[in-house]
Amino acid sequence: GEEARLHRGLDMGVNDYIVRPVNTSELLARVRTQVKRKRYADFLRSRLEQTVEMAVLDPLTALHNRHYLNSHMKTLFEESADRGRALSVMLIDVDHFKSINDTYGHDAGDEVLRELALRLKRNIRGIDLACRLGGEEFVVVMPDTSIDSAYLVAERLRQCIAATPFFVGDQNGSIDVTASVGVAALEFAEDTPDLILKRADQALYCAKR
């Protein structure tokens, strides 16, 4: 009967119901209630998404953060090692960044980091993992990429950064920015994510000299 159908509807996820004959005032009141519930649910979902983003994204550049790198590089590393596939890492550091901050101010420095992140994303693939380590240092993990291919990507990125001045606001105009890049790859059976990052850091140190 009517009551059995009502129970089935509620079991299937119906939020509300109204019986005939329909009272217009009651109908409007129930519709308003459902609209409020929907708006509140959307608000909660939006807040949850923002919280998740804050946990894994760098707020300045919108790249992934160090926490995300630490939790996902191990997975990418293990997948590559298990399948015998190549994996390379690029470590990028803005040259003389302290001087940029001291000369043009921290707002200009932030603009440089944001623009560099955009240029970085334009020069890598969708499967590559780009993160801001902190300060002016960035890392890109590149699955299925040999060290020779990684060198080509690194040089293309370095030239992309140096070729076009960075606009840092009406007051300061544009400034020339360069970056150094260190590259390392999965090479040895005893390699770990930390060892590869350490080799990339050593390569970056050599590139800066």
Written as one letter, the residue type at 115 is: E
- Which one, of 73, 82, 88, 70, lies nearest residue 189 by Cα? 82
Catalytic residue among 136, 137, 187, 190: 136
- Which one, of 153, 175, 180, 179, lies nearest residue 164 by Cα? 175
> In b/e form, how buried is each residue of 2-38, taking b as 16+ CB within 10 angstroms?
eeeeeeeeeeeeeeeeeeeeeeeeeeeeeeeeeeeee
Does residue 79 have an active-site annotation? no
Beta-bridge partner residues of 143: 87
Residues taking part in catalysis: 136
